[in-house]
Amino acid sequence: MGIEIVQVDAFTDTPFRGNPAAVCFLEVERDETWLQNVAREMNLSETAFLRLTKDRRDGYDLRWFTPAAEVDLCGHATLASAHALWETGRLGADAPARFHTRSGLLTAERKSDWIELDFPSLPEEPATPPPSGLISALGVEPTYVGKSRFDYVVEVESQAKLLGLRPEFALLRKVEGRGVIVTSRSASPEYDFVSRYFAPNFGIDEDPVTGSAHCVLAPFWAQRLGRSELTGYQASARGGVVRVRLEGGRVRLSGRAVTVLKGELV
């Protein structure tokens, strides 16, 4: 028997939009080299590996790998994992998904055709001065630069400025940290804010839709807009919608997902 693997487009209800993630179901533990090789072979921004916990009653152990490295937190591959568990019948339609991860226990629930994730809030603090090379790598004058646990967050004055970004990734690789979130207010009344996410140090020049970045963007924009419930659009080539709701030190991230491929690893 092969190892079941599916590919899910997350933060979208339309195939070939949103952010694709592979979800691999493991019956036995695999070593880190094997996990990294599979992620490199899949060549998606994230591959998620799921395995029932040892007592088989407390959910799943979940790990996330880019083609280059393991990461501590990933939103879209967690959403894809929950979607895959329900779609394959491993979880009942009304049962919550429980994931044990490097970032603690994360949960997911179905809310009609949306999936709501319970993630940690990751507020940022001003980065004064900004790290050397960041601004020149982005090629835009920011209105604000901050630093969260994993990423830098750069606010620019308009959506037009954000859409026009053409980063120099060779320079951006010299900036320490997981990645860079660039954000602005939305020019459309449909959304409250827009963003893009760059992580060349982890093998992802531009991520299509980044759930964990919205753990930063939720408190960032809630403070500026005076509301705890917001809708963001990640303005990559594929694009995707993320709803956020602040609850104390947590962020509820909501998105949709669609399976586009099913197969087996031999």
Q: Say what the pLDDT of residue 71 is.
A: 96
Q: Find out whether 226 and 209 touch, Cβ atoms under 8 Å.
A: no
33-92 confidence digits (pLDDT tens): 999 999 999 999 999 999 999 876 789 999 999 999 999 999 999 999 999 999 999 999
Q: Say what the pLDDT of residue 54 is.
A: 83
Q: What is the mean pLDDT of residues 144-171?
A: 97
- CA dist 68 and 78 (Å) reads 18
- Tell me which residues are annotated as active site: 46
Average pLDDT, the chain: 96
Residue 1 has pLDDT above 80, yes or no: no
178-225 confidence digits (pLDDT tens): 999 999 999 999 999 999 999 999 999 999 999 999 999 999 999 999
Q: Say what the pLDDT of residue 43 is.
A: 96
Q: What is the mean pLDDT of residues 131-148?
A: 97
Residue 8 has pLDDT above 80, yes or no: yes
Q: Is 133 left (phi over 0), alpha (psi -120 to 50) or beta?
A: left
Q: Say what the pLDDT of residue 56 is.
A: 66
Q: Say what the pLDDT of residue 60 is.
A: 97
Q: Find out whether 70 and 77 touch, Cβ atoms under 8 Å.
A: no
With cut-offs at 50, 70 and 90, classify the pLDDT of residue 152.
very high
231-257 confidence digits (pLDDT tens): 999 999 999 999 999 998 999 999 999
